Structure 1
Amino acid sequence: MSSGDHVVERKRSPSVHQDEEHDSKRAKTSEDDVHTNGSAHKKNGKHHFSVASSQSDSVGNETSSQAIHGIEQEHMQEVVENVYRLRMPKDFFDFWNFSCRTNPMNPRMALSAAGIELVGPFDILAGDVDYKPSNLLELQDLANTHWRYYYDVPEFQTCLRVTGMGSQLHYGYFRDDPYDLPVFVASNDAGKDCKITEHGGNLFAAVHKLIETMRDDPSIEDRTPLAELQEVVKLHAEKFNHSLALSVETRAHRQAVVTSTWHGAGFVGNEKSSSDNTLAKRHHLSDKDLLHLFEEVCREDDIHEEVGKQRKAKAEEKLDAIGKLTEKDAQDGIYDTTLELGINIFCYGNTILHKYAKAHLERGYELFGRDFFRDITKAHIEKRTRGDELSRLPMK
């Protein structure tokens, strides 16, 4: 992913669910907001995004067909970004074109030799989604949780899943801000834990690295198909000018992270953010302290005994008190602790804590002006599901 791939100057455009209060805060810019590489048009109180035709030139290079699995080339970027309400990087479309050439009959299974399946936004490019302009709003709502695994924070957008390994390993883009391009491609195995791991600045780099890991697996007897596939991925990465090395955007993210949070990828704040604005440094709350507190809130072994009820009530009171401390920080212009607390509660994963995770995440994203991440949080927690049956968009 290269910052030079998109030459249109970026201006922020609000999400479809943007509230009136936030609109008023951005009154000076809302009239000419641009969803980079396109425009945000307001109709009946809703924002609809269209992509400038010149930005679709990279989509379908060196491809002879006029339509790829149901979506005409010149409309692919427009349709995907309209449904997801997220800017998609050039490597996403290049990776699709690579997949179409590798397996013209079923591009989503072009990497089947490595057990990799293209999902998420690729479902739209494949023409598998029942898309029509009349059901766009419904699709937009469903896209918020389409292939969103249990521990996927709003910053994570699943694009690939790995099958046949008995895991819930999946890969996708990680964005610091919903109005920006991704900063790296990451992975998570929701069957194990909440950890998010970086894998390069584009899908080619991530897949190349994944196949390299598979080739090192001693349990795999015939590694020739993997070696051949890895070489094809490398050649197409070079062809489309995508580096397999660590990207500039990834390095910038690492330098700007306020705190790593429990999932490891951390979050980037604003101009007032600082590595000193953490729960540990401002309120002397270590990860160990929080973990113990969450365990006490979620204990159910002695909940029917008086001592158990008192212990749980005391833990809930302490968690509420921490919430008040983060709200006081927010009133003082420090938003970091609110979002950090929300992310860590979400990563703990227990449904008993969902009301706390929802409250602090929504508040944190609102404070940072990332309302679309707030909307994704709300939709995800309401439908948060373990497992890997996570297709939500209506299929043909």
Structure 2
Amino acid sequence: MNNKPKENCKYWDKCYQKNEHHLITYNHPTATKPKEEEPTTEISPNKSPIPPGNNEKQDDSIEETKPETTSVVVDDDDDDEPKKHEKTPKKRHSSEASDNTVNTPPKKNPSKRLWDHSEANINEKEQSSSFIHEKFLVKMPKDFYLFWKFVVTHPTKNSLKPFNFELVGPYDFLAGKFAPGQNKSPGDYLRHWRFFYDPPEFQTIFVKKGSGIHYGYWRDDPKDEENLLIVRNDASKGCVFELIATNMFDAFAYFLEKDYQVTPFNHKVLGDMRKTISNFVQESKFDRRSLVEAKVERAKKISAKTFHNVGIVVPVNKTTGVGYRPLTDSDSNIKKILSALEKPGELSKEEAKEMVMEKLNPIITNSVIALDECDFGTNLELGIDLFCSGHKELHEIVQNLLNPAYKLLGRPQYMAILKAHLADRRNSYKLSILD
């Protein structure tokens, strides 16, 4: 007996054959051939169009099916009924369906909200330090973000303008000046608001408009984001920096005291601003470190003073003293040697440089020997001193001294900053890469 299963007749219930042999051999269903199931045009807002389970697999199967007759749109809004297409569609999420597919809810794009300066998004800005860390190679301390909160929540619009005060550098990111996809090189960001005498350890955060007066964070170690000090420099007067505060609020107060000219006409505005700052700090319960204590604590770690007066801090073994040894000549003598580059007299520039290098070479040689014997601070001191002299003829020597010192001290970020700065070291007050 033939147990072969019967096949379906290709004519289905339309078959005209009635002989017994044909009926035994083939199936004749009574219903018509089923069509592909079409999706419904309405979805209950309380039910998901995608059954629970592995959403990724469900999405794949939906993409493969691609129904051609009816589009299904899942709306993110919490309306009682699903929305219908209108002649003038409302603004929708960019990730909602515009083709004949079912889309899962759109992923949030945190970078878009960075340009929203409402108070509700302050916390998002504080948590979105990845851009600053990536472009400027350092992380910002808590007072940096708290001061920004003070600025954007202050009741008076443009309240800082009367004081000729401008937040710059990484604050430009929070202000939305760095648009997504902006075509800038890594070196451009590292040069952004970097004044002529700013060493890699310094980062500008605000300026007095139209002048060389600028304030910024000082980091002995680029990985430090807590125990930072704020220093002030006037680029028009040279390379000397001054430690003035431990946080942005005290730095701004110092600015108002030091660099803002008080007159009978602006006295009240100044008094109101000071009171507003004090109230904000109290309400925020911000714990400000004492500047005196911070200076004393750092002074214990300073290995050498350097030309910029802030000094350098390097790890030194207390038992062996390995980590730093003094230069073979004093700061005053080195400055005297370098003065020949400023006033060559009857010598040409090339002759003056040769004479200077002849006197510097023994100091440089001893510094390199110190580096080889793990006294990395010696190279750092001499390199910073030559950088602070401002002579571009010495830029190559500065890099040859500082790069190995930064590398062996575990501070490669400063190597990148130094390289970018020396590639375009400008004696100017207009130092924004956005201009």
Q: TM-score, normalised by structure 1?
A: 0.72
Pair 1:252 & 2:310 matched? no
Q: Following TM superposition, by how much is the alpha carbon of 1:247 offset from its aligned partner in structure 2, in angstroms?
A: 6.8
Pair 1:387 & 2:428 matched? yes
**138, 141, 150: which is aligned to 2:196?**
150
Alignment map for 1:173-188 (pairs within 5 Å): 173-181=217-225, 183-188=228-233
Letter paired with 1:118: L
Pair 1:277 & 2:325 matched? yes
**260, 273, 285: which is aligned to 1:229?**
273
Name the CA distance, whole Å, in 1 between partners of 2:431 and 2:305: 27
Letter paired with 1:78: S
Alignment map for 1:359-370 (pairs within 5 Å): 359-370=400-411
Q: Following TM superposition, by how much is the alpha carbon of 1:140 offset from its aligned partner in structure 2, in angstroms?
A: 3.8
**Which residue matches 1:96?**
148
Name the CA distance, whole Å, in 1 between partners of 2:386 and 2:264: 38
Q: Following TM superposition, by how much is the alpha carbon of 1:218 offset from its aligned partner in structure 2, in angstroms?
A: 6.5
Point out the structure with the larger helix share. Answer: 1
Counterpart secondary structure, 2:166: strand
Q: Following TM superposition, by how much is the alpha carbon of 1:191 offset from its aligned partner in structure 2, in angstroms?
A: 1.0
Counterpart secondary structure, 1:391: coil
Name the CA distance, whole Å, in 2 between partners of 1:301 and 1:220: 50
Change (3 A) 1:247 1:90: farther
**Which residue matches 1:296?**
340
Question: Retained in 2: the 8 A contact 1:113–1:226?
Answer: no
Letter paired with 1:339: L
**168, 172, 175: which is aligned to 1:119?**
168
Letter paired with 1:237: V
Alignment map for 1:175-214 (pairs within 5 Å): 175-181=219-225, 183-214=228-259
Name the CA distance, whole Å, in 1 between partners of 2:351 and 2:132: 51
Change (3 A) 1:175 1:300: same
Letter paired with 1:116: F
**335, 341, 351: which is aligned to 2:382?**
341
**365, 370, 395: which is aligned to 1:324?**
365
**Which residue matches 2:397?**
356
Name the CA distance, whole Å, in 1 between partners of 2:126 and 2:168: 21
Q: Following TM superposition, by how much is the alpha carbon of 1:224 offset from its aligned partner in structure 2, in angstroms?
A: 1.6
Question: Retained in 2: the 8 A contact 1:205–1:245?
Answer: no
Q: Following TM superposition, by how much is the alpha carbon of 1:290 offset from its aligned partner in structure 2, in angstroms?
A: 0.3
Q: Decide which structure has the larger Cα Rg and report it.
A: 2
Letter paired with 1:326: S
Q: Following TM superposition, by how much is the alpha carbon of 1:359 offset from its aligned partner in structure 2, in angstroms?
A: 2.1
Q: Following TM superposition, by how much is the alpha carbon of 1:250 offset from its aligned partner in structure 2, in angstroms?
A: 4.2
Change (3 A) 1:142 1:309: closer
| Structure 2 gap ranges (5+) | 1-109
Q: Deviations over 1:120-166 (max 9, x none)?
A: 0010001111234x96xx454322111000111111111100126xx
Change (3 A) 1:121 1:327: same
Counterpart secondary structure, 1:388: coil
| Structure 1 gap ranges (5+) | 1-55
Change (3 A) 1:146 1:314: same
Counterpart secondary structure, 1:144: helix
Name the CA distance, whole Å, in 2 between partners of 1:79 and 1:103: 28
Question: Retained in 1: the 8 A contact 2:325–2:370?
Answer: no
Question: Retained in 2: the 8 A contact 1:174–1:183?
Answer: yes
Q: Following TM superposition, by how much is the alpha carbon of 1:86 offset from its aligned partner in structure 2, in angstroms?
A: 0.9
Letter paired with 2:299: R
Name the CA distance, whole Å, in 2 between partners of 1:274 and 1:219: 54
Counterpart secondary structure, 1:81: helix
| Mean CA deviation greater in 379-388 or 357-366 | 357-366
Change (3 A) 1:229 1:351: same
Name the CA distance, whole Å, in 2 between partners of 1:298 and 1:140: 33
Question: Retained in 1: the 8 A contact 2:118–2:152?
Answer: no
Counterpart secondary structure, 1:333: coil
Counterpart secondary structure, 2:214: strand
Counterpart secondary structure, 1:199: strand
Name the CA distance, whole Å, in 2 between partners of 1:224 and 1:248: 32
Q: Following TM superposition, by how much is the alpha carbon of 1:274 offset from its aligned partner in structure 2, in angstroms?
A: 7.7
**Which residue matches 1:84?**
136
Name the CA distance, whole Å, in 2 between partners of 1:276 and 1:128: 42
Aligned-residue CA RMSD (Å)? 2.9
Matched pairs, number:
316
Structure of higher RCO (CA pairs closer than 8 Å, 6+ residues apart): 1
Residue identity over aligned pairs, in percent, reads: 28
Q: Following TM superposition, by how much is the alpha carbon of 1:298 offset from its aligned partner in structure 2, in angstroms?
A: 5.0
Q: Deviations over 1:155-192 (max 9, x none)?
A: 1111100126xx31011111010111152011111111
Q: Deviations over 1:88-140 (max 9, x none)?
A: 101111000100012676xxx542222110110010001111234x96xx454
Counterpart secondary structure, 2:217: strand
Q: Following TM superposition, by how much is the alpha carbon of 1:220 offset from its aligned partner in structure 2, in angstroms?
A: 6.5
Q: Deviations over 1:23-77 (max 9, x none)?
A: xxxxxxxxxxxxxxxxxxxxxxxxxxxxxxxxx9xxx9xx964446xx9546532
Change (3 A) 1:103 1:151: farther
Runs ≥4 residues deviating over 4 A: 63-68, 217-221, 247-250, 273-276, 308-312
